[in-house]
Amino acid sequence: MTYKLTNKAAADYARLYQYGIENFGYEQAECYAEGMEQRFEAIGNSPFMYPLADQYLEGCRRSVYGVHSIYYRQSQACAEIVRIISREDIEEALK
């Protein structure tokens, strides 16, 4: 199975990568981004491994990576990653 990022998830990913560069340096940002991409692969390969997160986004599952929660929906074709949200931003991001 595969995964894809929605436009909002892609924007979240770009934002967290830029934040990582600015606050932790290029190498650390790259390391975190690579780990997150590995998590995307794991979600695509075993989408039912992670719990439902209906309390945040109905019909979505959630995988926590570092300080971020990855919200996704499973379709027959792929795992669609809907949002990538920092634990500090959850309420604001889901409005």
pLDDT for position 66: 95
The pLDDT-based confidence of 54 (bands split at 50, 70, 90) is: confident
- Predicted model pTM: 0.90
Which residues, 6+ apart, have CB-to-CB distance to 83 below 8 Å?
A: 6, 8, 9, 12, 57, 70, 71, 93, 94
How many C-alpha atoms does 21 have within 13 Å on its Cβ side?
Answer: 7
Cα dihedral: 62, 63, 64, 69 (round 10) = -50
CATH 3.30.2310.20 matches 2-93: yes
Percentage of the chain modeled with pLDDT above 90:
80
